[in-house]
Structure 1
Amino acid sequence: MTNGVKELIALAVSQVGIKEKYSNGHWVNNSKYNQWFGRIPGYGEDGYGYPWCAAFQSWLLDKTGLKALGPRTASCLATVAWFKARKRWSAYPALGAQILFGPGGGTHVGLVVGYDRSYVYTVEGNTNVSGGAEGDGVWRKTRVRRDTNVYGYGYPDYSGGSLSADPDASKFGYKYKEVATVADLTPKATAPAKTRVVTVKAGQTLSAIAVAAGITLATLLSLNTGIKDPDKVQAGDKVTLPAAVPSTPKVTTTPTPKVTPKPTVKPKPKPTKTTPKFTAFPGAKYFGPGKSNKYVTQLGTALIKHGYKDFYKVGAGPKWSESDRQAVQAFQRSQGWSGTSADGIPGKETWDRLITGKNIQPRVKAVRATRMSASTGRASLTYSNNLDGWIREALVVMKAHGIPGTYEGIHRNIIRESGGNPRICNTTDINAQRGTPSCGLLQTIAPTFKAYHVSGTSWDVFDPVANIAAACNYAAHNYGSIDNVNGPY
């Protein structure tokens, strides 16, 4: 692909190791990218001391001649809004996509330069290699694809697209590829293109040289990988350009009289019936806790396609997760099934409907069912899918397990901890610095959630009822009850 994706990534990689200003024992955010972007009132360093991860992304697009493909901003939230407004937002990584982190994507942003089934490989500005909270420069990073801190991806509208792990990649003009690196953007080897070298004259810019040569600035930079800053070019510098294509002289020939042959009538070919490929149900043994295989990915992809995308924070993958179970169960209930026919594990009928797309009943998303009742331990009641409903449902679960707590005590602590947002994470406190951010309604860290998880609830820390139940179970063991908690716990 010669549409700028490779050139953008190459420029990003060339910046690795460039650092911001260091003053009085601290990195102070003032970088060459801040200087390019401009002052923002209210920040130190004469208005240049603001976080610059988003400004770095804007700089990359500008210097490769692709500035129309993303926002010119220093705000991660503005970046998210820009891509979402253009319907170019995905839960899957893609080469040349911007990866956003934190609640609402407002914490940090980087550039995707590669990805596989488990990790995303990036170049990020205003970060570090030590893992500390203070960024100092441009660095390569390796991110866990399914980390809860990954919010999503903005897809620039590259001419000719790029490569993406999104099964629906074509809607962005991208091509689907499960695993991709920059090398996959390079077409099969052909004879090397001829080049020429020109000398920069006084007053010339790289953009002007590119226009005169009839190429884009991105193409020029791809031929001159030693240029790290497109703004810094001096008279006397050497620049490589594609060789000029010599004009081909016209050859005059004597026209040969046309002889019109008699038309030959070909018999119409008989239509052949084509049967779409269909993967037969492999068996229930391939699904459930601890399973990891291609059928889990195929199942998750089908669920997303048929309207169950909201169960997946990152997307379908080969490792069976609680997201898969919940999505399958929701699908089964929407088909009118119950009991063991809606246990969240796919059988042949579930598989056949999802894979073929036939006989599927529309999804029902009205209410949320309890995981167990106090008397029978089986799902029976329904609650509204809001804070009131989540607390009331959690109280039923807690009662069945002998966990103390009242509506008022739970509600009071939720409002203090998360404001009632079940998807929020604290990405700045000491827990986040240790790699275990506090998440969910009652701001539970992963080790605590796992240790005090209540049987019968989801294993997803962002599940409202599971989060409440686990936090209240923890409070019961350490404070006697969630009612006794009146501050950070």
Structure 2
Amino acid sequence: MSVAQKVLDTARGEVGYQEGFSGGHWDNSQKYSPAVPGLEWSDEQPWCSTFVSWVFQEAGASDIAPVTASCYEGVSWFEDRGRFSEYPAVGAVVYFGSGGGTHVGIVTSYTDDTIYTVEGNTNDSGSAEGDGVYRKARPRKSSYVYGYGYPAYPEGIVTADPEWKGRDGVVFFGREASEDDIPAGGSRPSTPSGTNRQVVIDGLSYGPGAKGDHITALGRMLVAAGCSTYKEGPGPVWTSADTESMRKYQTKIGDGGTDADGIPGTLQLARLKRDFGRAA
């Protein structure tokens, strides 16, 4: 297994963990600070950066990412090594807010419009008070996204940064990439996984190139599920918005990896129809 894969698996394995609750509110006490040498003092402090440090430690990769409770220090650590970018990468450490000092997470995949992450000390309600570890889908072009630190993964890194294209150990996927594109055993994929894949379910095609009223119906169900990335439509011709909306739905129901590539599976489609078929 690649180091990047270990990092992503470790991060996802913590989804659902919540910090302590006392006196009627979340109190920032958590298991990560005491487990990271040098960061024991940070218990009961904001812990998003400590969580990232813990993930890399547990994956056996603490030498390729900063060990710090400070988002600002994390940004500086990557900048000092010439490994900071405004473009996402699979397994990158993404920093948010002014100067990157507000919040931090780990990128699991990205599309042209969205970054998918695992983040500690956050929530799914949109409030400022974090309470646990969550999967998040964030607008890639949001001003809240400050930039990305690129760990020096020994197998290489998959990035959208055109200035990194052609560098040794770099795979360039400008529009979308996921952990399926991480190099393994020296192999370098030539096209993003899932991007050009079609499936046939109950005699109907889904995926790039697919057309028909059933594609419009799928889009309407995704809108009803709260997973729309459509700027217009949906319509009868499969577009990247269908892929991104489907990926958002797959992530929402807890699927990941090849099961969250934006192309519906039989069980996923059946669940979508069961819960939101009236919208079609």
- Offset of residue 186 of structure 1: 6.9
Is 2:177 aligned against 1:180?
yes
- Offset of residue 117 of structure 1: 0.3
- Offset of residue 162 of structure 1: 1.7
Is 2:52 aligned against 1:57?
yes
Deviations along 1:231-255, one digit per CA (max 9) or x if unpaired, are: xxxxxxxxxxxxxxxxxxxxxxxxx
**What is the total number of aligned residue pairs between the two structures?**
181
CA contact (8 A) 1:155 1:172 kept: no
The aligned residue for residue 39 of structure 1 is 40
The aligned residue for residue 16 of structure 1 is 15
Taking the aligned partners of 2:100 and 2:49, their CA distance within structure 1 comes to: 11
Greater length-normalized contact order (CA 8 Å, ≥ 6 residues apart): 2
Q: CA RMSD in A?
A: 1.7
- If the length of structure 1 is used for normalisation, what is the TM-score? 0.36
- Offset of residue 172 of structure 1: 7.2
Taking the aligned partners of 1:22 and 1:186, their CA distance within structure 2 comes to: 41
- Offset of residue 8 of structure 1: 0.7
**In structure 2, the residue corresponding to 1:34 is in which secondary structure?**
helix
Taking the aligned partners of 1:80 and 1:88, their CA distance within structure 2 comes to: 10
Taking the aligned partners of 2:150 and 2:117, their CA distance within structure 1 comes to: 15
Taking the aligned partners of 1:67 and 1:101, their CA distance within structure 2 comes to: 21
**In structure 2, the residue corresponding to 1:142 is in which secondary structure?**
strand
State the AA in 2 paired with 1:173.
Answer: G
The aligned residue for residue 193 of structure 2 is none
State the AA in 1 paired with 2:169.
Answer: G
Taking the aligned partners of 1:187 and 1:57, their CA distance within structure 2 comes to: 23
Deviations along 1:152-175, one digit per CA (max 9) or x if unpaired, are: 000000112121111122447321
Instruction: Say which of 127, 141, 146 aligns to 1:132.
Output: 127
Taking the aligned partners of 2:133 and 2:164, their CA distance within structure 1 comes to: 29
Instruction: Say which of 136, 144, 148 aligns to 2:143.
Output: 148
State the AA in 2 paired with 1:10.
Answer: D
Taking the aligned partners of 1:140 and 1:177, their CA distance within structure 2 comes to: 22
Change (3 A) 1:36 1:4: same
The aligned residue for residue 114 of structure 1 is 109
- If the length of structure 2 is used for normalisation, what is the TM-score? 0.62
- Offset of residue 187 of structure 1: 5.9
CA contact (8 A) 2:52 2:106 kept: yes
- Offset of residue 71 of structure 1: 1.1
**In structure 1, the residue corresponding to 2:162 is in which secondary structure?**
coil
The aligned residue for residue 188 of structure 2 is none
**In structure 1, the residue corresponding to 2:34 is in which secondary structure?**
helix
CA contact (8 A) 2:3 2:155 kept: no
- Offset of residue 18 of structure 1: 0.4
Change (3 A) 1:13 1:114: same
**In structure 2, the residue corresponding to 1:49 is in which secondary structure?**
coil
State the AA in 1 paired with 2:137.
Answer: T
Higher strand share: 2
CA contact (8 A) 1:157 1:172 kept: no
The aligned residue for residue 161 of structure 1 is 156
Question: In the TM superposition, what are the counterparts of 1:263-302 in structure 2 within 5 Å?
Answer: none
Taking the aligned partners of 1:184 and 1:80, their CA distance within structure 2 comes to: 25
Taking the aligned partners of 1:20 and 1:122, their CA distance within structure 2 comes to: 19
State the AA in 2 paired with 1:138.
Answer: V
CA contact (8 A) 1:168 1:176 kept: no
Taking the aligned partners of 2:135 and 2:83, their CA distance within structure 1 comes to: 24
CA contact (8 A) 2:89 2:107 kept: yes
Question: In the TM superposition, what are the counterparts of 1:222-261 in structure 2 within 5 Å?
Answer: none
The aligned residue for residue 3 of structure 1 is 2
CA contact (8 A) 1:88 1:172 kept: no
CA contact (8 A) 1:127 1:134 kept: yes
